[in-house]
Structure 1
Amino acid sequence: MWFTAGLLMAGAVVGNAVLIGQMSGREPVLVLARDVAWGQPVSGDDVKTVDLPVEVGAFAVREVAQAGIVGQVAGRNLHAGDLLAPDDLAAQAVPGPGQWVLGLRLEPGRYPARGLAPNDPIAVHPAPDEGVSSGSGTQQSGQEFPARVVHVSPPDADGAITADVLIPESTAPAAVEAAVGGAQVSLLGPPQK
């Protein structure tokens, strides 16, 4: 009996020594406290501190750098509970130089059924002009242009959404035409290599 108690005490002492040794190899790093959409500024309330092993902390933003990340923007969609890595942040606000953010009201059936999310690459196809037809009898529409989703509103009573999209300034005429006359949006895949 005394022998068993002695073994248990020795095991506890060794276990505590290992735990203390592991804790001394930890450091405070930043983890997302809540979701932050691509292009949105990161605030101090968006992150929290957790202690992780030094090996894991090498890939994360350390707590001492928290003041420097406030005001930077999310370089991708950031999710609550994820480690905050330096590559997750960008200094450039959205829109940047030579860019516009334009709102497009999209009727049901004119955007993918899965919906749109911030940072989605899309192609915007201006709706055909119902009052103008070409010699072949088909309706003409404006020029298609690429864009990136910044923000999406919840559906309204008619099921329509408003998508704020980031566009290059050079596509502004086609984008304004799509905003005024309606548009169809296609979700794009990753670029081909």
Structure 2
Amino acid sequence: MFKQSVVLLSALLSSSAFAQWTLDETQSSLHFMSTKNAQVTEVHRFDALSGSLSDAGVLSISVPLSSVNTNIAIRNTRMQEMLFEVSKYPTATFTTTLPADLLDMDAGTSQAAVVEGELSLHGMTAPVSFNVMVSKLSDDTLQASTIAPTLIGADTFGLKGGVEALQNIAGLQSITFNAPVTFSVTFEK
């Protein structure tokens, strides 16, 4: 019994020595654009996201799709129901393992990088990559922002039918099937 208690206590102490990074939702944002009728482009966002980053570089970011914000209430509802189908697929998730050089930067330094990972959206998972600038603002604050948009394709994630349904209900001639995505995320220990 004593040996098991010592092993358990050691495990708890060693895991607490490695602080996990947590996404600061108030300092983070995720935007995407849509283009309708071949010439009207609008910027939208998600109002909520969460995430964690381990000291080993394991990154996970989750986006509740019900937090989509297009600045038009009926369009938000239509996107939730017809495009994202949030009752079946409530969350989008991006996961990756970051290279050690991004985590081991000195405070006050920045580095451009391509971050490759997997995006799970609408019941499908596919590889995606983001061109980012990673900045270590302090020993306890890490920030990453896109330096170029990444195109997310409706076909890749089974969203083409939802886009077409939105186009029909809004009486539009077209809505593009690729959405440029940008973000800025801040993690704190």
**If the length of structure 1 is used for normalisation, what is the TM-score?**
0.28
Larger Rg: 1
Name the one with the larger strand percent. 2
Higher normalized contact order (CA 8 Å, seq sep 6+, divided by chain length): 2
